[in-house]
Amino acid sequence: MDCAGRAEAAAEQLRLYRRDPDGWRGCRSTGEVAVSWRPSAEFAGNLYKGEGVLPASPQSVWECIKPVAGGLRTKWDQNVKDFEVIEAISDTVSICRTTTPSACMRIISPREFVDVVVMKQYEDGTMLSAATNVEHPLCPPQPNFVRGFNYPCGCFCIPVPGEPNRTELLTFFQTDLGGYLPQTVVDSFFPSSISGFYSNLTKAVKCHDTN
């Protein structure tokens, strides 16, 4: 399957996750997000779901999270150190490299991910960013990073009917961090990371709307 086909398949997989209520188990809840998980069908790990409503319009939320060169994600997301577009396949599909800083008191060393990413907008105003791992000749594994692998993952920005300044954000994270990490570290990292994602994004969209 070519890269664009892999991106489309990832987007379709996210739509299936969105419609499938079975098997989710809650693992963390804050004022901003409810996090749940179930075993992944893609790898020997978990699929995580985040559900929350942000105090901003879908367009403002999208501006903060959309996966584009020079985007805002690196400014507010503590788990994204650098984001670069390696190859633009079309206006909506690209190959991207993301690096992350160390985490969990440096138990998790810096990671790098190479993904094909697709952006979509639907008739109801929902915007989707979906991604999955891919190999690319311009992105061999780099020294000082452990190569991780994202399986179908991404974000839905969903309008809230009658409330133009609120957005439902539905996220799916499905990541093999690679390396040799204790499972207990991995299992504690993701719920904490996802709640931090929503907290930092909430601050970012408030700041974006006041600028």
Give the model confidence (pLDDT) of 152-198 as tens digits: 999 999 999 999 999 999 999 999 999 988 888 999 999 999 999 99
pLDDT in the model for residue 40? 97
pLDDT in the model for residue 105? 81
* Closest to 130 in 3D by CA, of 71, 193, 82, 66: 66
Beta strands, E only, the chain: 25-29, 34-39, 46-54, 82-88, 93-100, 111-121, 127-133, 146-147, 149-150, 153-160, 163-173, 175-176
Cα 114 to chain center, whole Å?
13
Contact 104, 185 (CB under 8 A): yes
Q: Which residue ranges of the chain lie beneath pLDDT 70?
A: 1, 209-211
Q: How far apart are CA 137 and CA 119, in angstroms?
A: 23
pLDDT in the model for residue 20? 95
pLDDT in the model for residue 210? 62
pLDDT in the model for residue 1? 65
Instruction: Locate 191 and state its tokens.
Output: 């719920």
pLDDT in the model for residue 19? 96
pTM, two decimals, is 0.95
pLDDT in the model for residue 106? 79
38 bridge partner residues? 47
Instruction: Locate 153 and state its tokens.
Output: 């993952």
DSSP secondary structure letters along 103-140 = BTTTTB--EEEEEEEEEEE-TTS-EEEEEEE---TT-P
pLDDT in the model for residue 209? 65
